[in-house]
Amino acid sequence: MTQNKLVPDWGLSKKGKQRHKLFNSNTETKNITAVYSSYEQKAIDGGLILSNHLGIELKKIESLKENDRSSTGFLFEEEFQTTVNNFFANPNESIRGWEKAIDAQNRIVSAIKYIISNDKSSGDIAVVAHGGVGTLLFCFLASKKISRQYDQPQNGGGHFFTFYKDNFKIIHDWQDIALVP
């Protein structure tokens, strides 16, 4: 059961795996030549679904991990949402011992810059990570202050956005990975 496992050990649900498999048919995957994830199980699960489909190796980078919330571990939905709201509303503070949002944002932006600078593949790069760090990256790319207002839609997760790797300009906002154009 999820609540007995550490957050980094949580895997994708059956529904999450099905949604990732649908993403393989998305036209945006056709030019992907590199796939990266954190060492956290959900990201690995999703990254492997995509990388195996494309026939390429999944590369893992520790700093792509979700914001550190090990101080609380599993929280039931209402308490979790309240804590997440405070995390985004107070980015320079540690909420309940969680990593500060600003520190997590700096870490993820540095990881993305490192990947783009060092990746030797010839096409698009996919980063399979977590909603919280995705939101922090999105805020940075959109030149917006850290805010949950820019979070992925709240319908169970599994969204993506794209941006140009040469100038960090957002191409499109959050889209559902299970909707195949």
pLDDT digits (tens, 9 = 90+) for 98-134: 999 999 999 999 999 999 999 999 999 999 999 899 9
Predicted confidence band at 180 (pLDDT cuts at 50, 70, 90)?
Answer: confident
Predicted confidence band at 2 (pLDDT cuts at 50, 70, 90)?
Answer: low
Rounded CA separation 60/35 (Å): 9
pLDDT of the residue at 3: 57
**Yes or no: domain 18-170 corresponds to CATH 3.40.50.80:** no
pLDDT of the residue at 113: 98
**More confident call, 154 vs 130:** 130
Predicted confidence band at 181 (pLDDT cuts at 50, 70, 90)?
Answer: confident
Cα dihedral sign for 169, 174, 178, 180? negative
> By mean pLDDT, which of 5-14, 35-44, 154-163 is the weakest?
5-14
pLDDT tens figures, 41-97: 999 999 999 999 999 999 999 999 999 999 998 899 999 999 999 999 999 999 999
Say if CB 153 and CB 179 are below 8 A apart.
no
Predicted confidence band at 1 (pLDDT cuts at 50, 70, 90)?
Answer: very low
Alpha-helical regions (H) of 8-100: 14-23, 41-54, 77-89
Say if CB 146 and CB 136 are below 8 A apart.
yes
